[in-house]
Structure 1
């Protein structure tokens, strides 16, 4: 009998075990960070000490080369405990690994070293007017000596307030160009963060005023063989939220009684829980397949990961909404974890690409409709 294609290596399993050991503490602290909308810096430090960056960094840029499978499971574990910590870790990895790979022929070793030592990275790609098209910037950069200058804004930059390095894009000669930027006085955080979900990510709006995009910090565009950290991690965030929401509603149903019996004895509760749990397992299984596609370098990888995100986003919302129904009025209180899981589940749907955009893209493919026709 052959071994499972989803098996982890020894070092990967050891890393996952270290992260699992941290998860209970992260989960216990998550409500407070959410209430205060405070970046869980202590959690990020603990992840660094557990070897997160060295493991995630691909082999070709000096790291241990964690598989997409193991990376997805790591993010899922974190998201079940605290989805804000998971999101910050994901975007940190996306920017750090991205800059190390995109600038590998020039300053990639600098960014790889910075990432390994625990410097903080953030993704600053999404623009107020570009919607989901975060890889297709609309803001042009004008040429100056030694590089280019950007005047514009980037939104939803998770962890921007503690970032040492930003992954930024802009139009150069009409084409998307990617740069590493070290924030200075020309990069301003606009303090408008007051969201419903994932509050502890503090994904702020940044404005760039005559910010120099150095030519020697310019990298190539993303390629098919690059480590797909963000596409691999986004489904895992929603799966982790769904896991936490399911656990919370089960706990509530077991400890609340109606007509002298626990809510678990209500037939409608049994039917609804069976439905969402089955669909959650199906989404989890498909996500594993998509991550395996990524590790194999298969051409359908991006499509598989997009479908995985769509499935995971939707089931997370469905589980969380069921939690509110089962929880009733007590589940609607701010002291209940049920309401927080609902807010966090909704946030996953809004992350690019949103469920609406993904549904349109997949629908066009299935129906044979050419984009733009």
Structure 2
């Protein structure tokens, strides 16, 4: 994102995301019910130029700022969180492969992305949990400079659509990252029956002697860079929170009490709405500060991304919970959107780094706690 476009052009992209989000909202419930990938939504995002907008103009992108990138995630998530999640992961995996690969491989990935090929992150091991940057599955040397991998990765969003995977493995006890093209050694295990954000179809994938080519191994970044997933995850949860909040406001204004007055006159609803409103606004402000720091190239984004994620994950749950209570018994059914918002809101807190791990890192940072060797 070295070349930033004008504010007016960036706003047009945000407005486009908002426009598409309203359209995606019309099918979000159906996608959730069927646990199906939002293929049409993802195709439209690509065709409208949002996929590669994160790239600098010299690479054929729009050169958008991180601030605009976060807002785009937010707008899409308001309409369909599953679409936003898969889009974020596709964008982050592709950008990483383009940025951190050798010049030859970088050009290859760039061409493929511009042609609509799909990318996915396959980093989380069944046994490593949140510590996805420290794989324990050891790659086996093949004797020709390459390695092979036998193992599995879980929660690979959009796995069934992916043409390329960003994966990691341990080599001589150290983390190594590779781009892997999908072939017949990569198995998709259809085990997806999730609580929320079901349209991501974040499957478990298995590797059976998958070749990790030395030519596809990551190189050192030419310059400091930001992690798009860390920047985007708070905004994914904030989009869910905003959708839940908008729905509860509409419900409180539209539903009538026995005396014909609107539900919005009930005092406990007023009090709790104010609380959710203020905390949602605060979470947005912190997430906006995160993006400002990212645009400045600050290393502080590492800890602030965790702080922002903690607040965003919690307010998404609380906004959905309040909506459920405002909606009453009907809100426990699919007649209203609150049960879906409540389920979707759980996912953000589990995504690495989880809310619990983020709290641990933030606490150690604040208290100056050093890891014991």
Q: What TM-score results when the alignment is normalised by the length of structure 1?
A: 0.95
* Deviation of the 1:139 alpha carbon: 0.5
Alignment-derived partner of residue 269 in structure 1: 269
* Deviation of the 1:221 alpha carbon: 5.9
In 2, Cα distance between equivalents of 1:55 and 1:190: 32
SS in 1 for 2:165: strand
Alignment-derived partner of residue 152 in structure 1: 151
In 2, Cα distance between equivalents of 1:135 and 1:348: 18
* Residues 178 and 221 in structure 1, CA contact (< 8 A), matched pair in contact too: no
The farther-off stretch of 154-163 and 57-66 is 57-66
* Deviation of the 1:334 alpha carbon: 2.1
Q: Among 50, 65, 72, which residue is 1:52 paired with?
A: 50
Alignment-derived partner of residue 176 in structure 2: 177
Alignment-derived partner of residue 120 in structure 1: 118
* Deviation of the 1:269 alpha carbon: 0.2
Alignment-derived partner of residue 218 in structure 2: 219
The unaligned stretches of length 5 or more in structure 1 are 1-6
CA-atom RMSD in angstroms: 1.8
Alignment-derived partner of residue 255 in structure 1: 254
Alignment-derived partner of residue 24 in structure 1: 22
* Deviation of the 1:258 alpha carbon: 2.4
SS in 1 for 2:26: helix
The unaligned stretches of length 5 or more in structure 2 are none
In 2, Cα distance between equivalents of 1:28 and 1:75: 18
* Residues 58 and 97 in structure 1, CA contact (< 8 A), matched pair in contact too: no
* Residues 8 and 70 in structure 1, CA contact (< 8 A), matched pair in contact too: no
In 2, Cα distance between equivalents of 1:72 and 1:294: 11
* Residues 17 and 76 in structure 2, CA contact (< 8 A), matched pair in contact too: yes
Alignment-derived partner of residue 192 in structure 1: 191
* Residues 159 and 201 in structure 1, CA contact (< 8 A), matched pair in contact too: yes
The farther-off stretch of 75-84 and 166-175 is 166-175
Kindly provide the CA deviation profile for residues 148-187 of structure 1, in whole angstroms up to 9, marking residues without a partner as x.
Answer: 1000000000000010110011011211111111111111
Matched positions, count: 368
* Deviation of the 1:11 alpha carbon: 2.3
1:200-219 matches, within 5 Å, as: 200-219=199-218
1:289 aligns with 2:289: yes
In 2, Cα distance between equivalents of 1:167 and 1:130: 17
1:212-361 matches, within 5 Å, as: 212-220=211-219, 225-260=224-259, 261-361=261-361
* Deviation of the 1:210 alpha carbon: 0.5
Q: What TM-score results when the alignment is normalised by the length of structure 2?
A: 0.95
* Deviation of the 1:326 alpha carbon: 1.1
* Residues 61 and 101 in structure 1, CA contact (< 8 A), matched pair in contact too: no
Kindly provide the CA deviation profile for residues 184-225 of structure 1, in whole angstroms up to 9, marking residues without a partner as x.
Answer: 111101111000101000000001010001111111367872
Kindly provide the CA deviation profile for residues 52-104 of structure 1, in whole angstroms up to 9, marking residues without a partner as x.
Answer: 12311245755332211000000000000000000000000110001001104
* Residues 123 and 132 in structure 2, CA contact (< 8 A), matched pair in contact too: yes
